[in-house]
């Protein structure tokens, strides 16, 4: 049975169920599998199987402590008609690349792919581990995770969910999605700071032993729905395998032929899932990591130096406005030969100086990756190009990936079939997308959703329709230092 250990090594190994409940290791490292399983089936033999089939087998190979019946129930509950595409993750073909549309779930962004499943995994794990306490999901969001987590956990028995988002760092639509969230166990706060501040604040709360004891005495324990939770990460591996099966079916690939994978990257969760898929034996050639102006990862891939000491840019792809990418820690751990000591040393450097550099061995292992970036102007141009030439509408995040892929292909001549993960509906970032395709952008985000619909003829996702009329239920704004008190105020029986 695969067990999970901390990337920093100072926590005992855990069952998958325990790692999911706990979220973050006690030494502030992230849980990683002690071994990476091989693909549970040959993709060329699975033509015609539904998404749930791949999801079941991939998740099961990482979480064997769930019984087949339990996991079947989880998967059936997660990937159903709440997705507005029967394929769950449909593929779209364009001239240069395939787009894997991961935005057909409840909040119109790719976070739904994992967040639809996580509440089922967590509550099933709580039953198995006879967890007596209420689990408090604490989440920092750059915009999309928060809403997806709120939808996933709304009124889930035995849980409370508290979400912190940067006050001026999310789009109007993203904010409205969160502050109108229903559910008696949902709590949403804007913070005076950016996403990195929010993420740091959440990690600090996790690391605060006294606060943890205070929670425990009131019958609560903390967990996370961010991609620092392995329960978020593992379901994401499935869609890469599914895409490969589908590409074989559509003739986009031949059995065993490698594909390039292009991922618009922020916290490094999505691309890390692709890395795990590659390690499982899925034929992936390059892992192409696309950044916006916050190009800390692109620089890292190119130089081996990770340096977060730089200006933070608020861009048109806000879910990637991140300078400290949590899941990179997991990659460093694996690339260092599963060395917790070396990983901990790099992370200490990051904590102390905001930077670290990798040794020659890791540098070489990074050869599987390519990093590039696109600025806002290039992002707009990429949206316009694809829309004008092929009538295919992409959002700003996906457009960053598309532009970086074009650059990579031009520079390298590598024209292996490419899979680009399309991480949000264009309607979720309607202001930028409408401007990119030349619509006059005068109204607010909601007016632009309508304008985009009228111009393109594309359907507005359910998640965004009628958002304007919904009641605003969450209005709290807190400082970074006020985050723990906000958690206290949210939970009955604490003060």
Ligand X SMILES: *Cc1c(COP(=O)(O)O)cnc(C)c1O
Contacts of 491 (CB under 8 A, 6+ apart): 136, 160, 215, 218, 220
Minimum Å gap between C-beta 392 and ligand X is 17
Between residues 60 and 330, which has the closer beta carbon with respect to ligand X? 330
- Number of neighbours of residue 471 by Cβ within 10 angstroms: 7
Minimum Å gap between C-beta 328 and ligand X is 10
Minimum Å gap between C-beta 129 and ligand X is 27
Minimum Å gap between C-beta 225 and ligand X is 12
- Residue 97, both tokens: 């690349």
- Residue 85, both tokens: 């595409």
Minimum Å gap between C-beta 365 and ligand X is 19
Between residues 260 and 423, which has the closer beta carbon with respect to ligand X? 423
Minimum Å gap between C-beta 195 and ligand X is 10
Q: How would you class 129 by CB atoms within 10 Å of its CB: exposed for 0-12, middle for 13-18, buried for 19 or more?
A: middle
Contact 2, 35 (CB under 8 A): yes
Of 56, 61, 55, nearest to 39 by C-alpha is 61
Between residues 111 and 134, which has the closer beta carbon with respect to ligand X? 111
Kindly list the distances between the CA atom of residue 226 and the CA atoms of 23, 74, 114, 115, 426, in Å, as whole numbers in the listed order: 9, 19, 10, 9, 23
Between residues 297 and 483, which has the closer beta carbon with respect to ligand X? 297
Q: Determine the distance from the C-alpha atom of residue 123 to the mean position of all C-alpha atoms in its chain, rounded to a whole number.
A: 20
Q: Cα-atom radius of gyration of the chain, to the nearest Å?
A: 21
Residue with tokens 């996702």: 461
Minimum Å gap between C-beta 405 and ligand X is 15
Between residues 248 and 404, which has the closer beta carbon with respect to ligand X? 404
Between residues 203 and 397, which has the closer beta carbon with respect to ligand X? 397
In 90-241 the beta strands, taken as DSSP E runs, fall at 91-93, 98-101, 134-140, 159-166, 186-191, 220-224
Q: What is the three-state SS of 390-428?
A: HCCCCCHHHHHHHHHHHHHHHHHCCCCCEEEEECECHHH
Between residues 54 and 325, which has the closer beta carbon with respect to ligand X? 325
Between residues 66 and 268, which has the closer beta carbon with respect to ligand X? 268
Between residues 114 and 347, which has the closer beta carbon with respect to ligand X? 114
Would you give the DSSP letter of residue 229? S
Contacts 24+ apart (CB under 8 A), 351-357: 353/309, 354/307, 354/308, 354/309, 355/305, 355/306, 355/307, 355/308, 355/309, 356/305, 356/306, 357/304, 357/305, 357/306
Handedness of CA 17, 20, 21, 22 (dihedral sign): positive
Minimum Å gap between C-beta 218 and ligand X is 32
Distance CA(38)–CA(36), nearest Å, equals 7
Distance CA(147)–CA(477), nearest Å, equals 17
Minimum Å gap between C-beta 268 and ligand X is 5
Contact 224, 138 (CB under 8 A): yes
Between residues 104 and 342, which has the closer beta carbon with respect to ligand X? 104
Minimum Å gap between C-beta 203 and ligand X is 15
The helix (run of H) or strand (run of E) holding residue 436 is helix 430-436
Minimum Å gap between C-beta 423 and ligand X is 3
Q: Which residues bind ligand X (CB under 6 A)?
A: 109-111, 144, 227, 264-270, 319-320, 397, 423-424
Kindly list the distances between the CA atom of residue 140 and the CA atoms of 161, 226, 394, in Å, as whole numbers in the listed order: 11, 7, 26
Between residues 190 and 253, which has the closer beta carbon with respect to ligand X? 190
Between residues 220 and 239, which has the closer beta carbon with respect to ligand X? 239
- Number of neighbours of residue 304 by Cβ within 10 angstroms: 16
Minimum Å gap between C-beta 110 and ligand X is 6
């Amino acid at each position: 049975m695969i067990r999970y250990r901390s990337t920093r090594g100072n926590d005992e190994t855990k069952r998958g169920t325990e790692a999911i409940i706990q979220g973050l290791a006690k030494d502030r490292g992230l849980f990683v599998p002690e071994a990476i399983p091989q693909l549970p089936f040959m993709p060329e033999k699975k033509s015609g199987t539904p998404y749930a089939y791949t999801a079941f087998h991939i998740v099961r190979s990482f979480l064997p402590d769930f019984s087949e019946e339990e996991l079947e129930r989880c998967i059936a509950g997660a990937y159903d008609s709440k997705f507005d595409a029967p394929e769950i993750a449909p593929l779209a073909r364009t001239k240069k690349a395939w787009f894997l549309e991961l935005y057909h779930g409840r909040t119109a962004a790719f976070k739904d792919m994992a967040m639809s499943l996580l509440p089922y995994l967590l509550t099933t794990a709580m039953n198995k581990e006879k967890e007596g306490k209420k689990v408090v999901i604490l989440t920092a969001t750059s915009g999309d995770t928060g809403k997806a987590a709120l939808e996933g956990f709304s009124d889930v028995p035995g849980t409370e969910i508290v979400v912190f988002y940067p006050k001026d760092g999310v789009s109007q639509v993203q904010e409205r999605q969160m502050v109108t969230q229903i559910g008696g166990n949902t709590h949403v706060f804007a913070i005076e700071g950016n996403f990195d501040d929010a993420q740091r604040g959440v990690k600090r709360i996790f690391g605060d032993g006294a606060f943890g004891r205070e929670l425990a005495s009131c019958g609560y324990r903390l967990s996370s729905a961010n991609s620092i939770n392995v329960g978020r990460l593992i379901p994401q591996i499935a869609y890469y395998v599914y895409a490969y099966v589908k590409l074989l079916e559509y003739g986009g690939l031949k059995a065993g032929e490698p594909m390039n994978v292009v991922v618009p990257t922020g916290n490094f969760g999505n691309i890390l899932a692709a890395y795990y898929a590659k390690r499982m034996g899925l034929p992936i050639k390059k892992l192409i990591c696309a950044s916006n102006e916050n190009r800390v990862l692109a620089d890292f891939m190119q130089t081996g130096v990770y340096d977060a000491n730089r200006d933070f840019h608020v861009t048109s792809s806000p879910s990637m406005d991140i300078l400290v990418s949590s899941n990179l820690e997991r990659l460093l751990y694996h690339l260092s030969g599963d060395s917790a000591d070396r990983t901990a040393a790099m992370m200490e450097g990051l904590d102390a100086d905001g930077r670290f550099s990798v040794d020659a061995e890791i540098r070489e292992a990074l050869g599987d990756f390519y990093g590039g970036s696109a600025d806002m102007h290039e992002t707009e141009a990429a949206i316009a190009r694809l829309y004008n030439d092929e009538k295919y509408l992409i959002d700003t995040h996906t457009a960053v990936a598309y532009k970086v892929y074009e650059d990579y292909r031009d520079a390298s001549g590598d024209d292996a079939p490419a899979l680009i993960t399309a991480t949000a509906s264009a309607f979720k970032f309607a202001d930028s997308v409408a401007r990119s395709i030349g619509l006059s952008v005068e109204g607010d985000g909601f007016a632009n959703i309508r304008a985009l619909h009228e111009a393109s003829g594309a359907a507005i996702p359910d998640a965004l329709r009628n958002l304007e009329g919904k009641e605003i239920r969450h209005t709290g704004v807190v400082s970074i230092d006020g985050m723990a008190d906000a958690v206290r105020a949210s939970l009955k029986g604490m003060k």
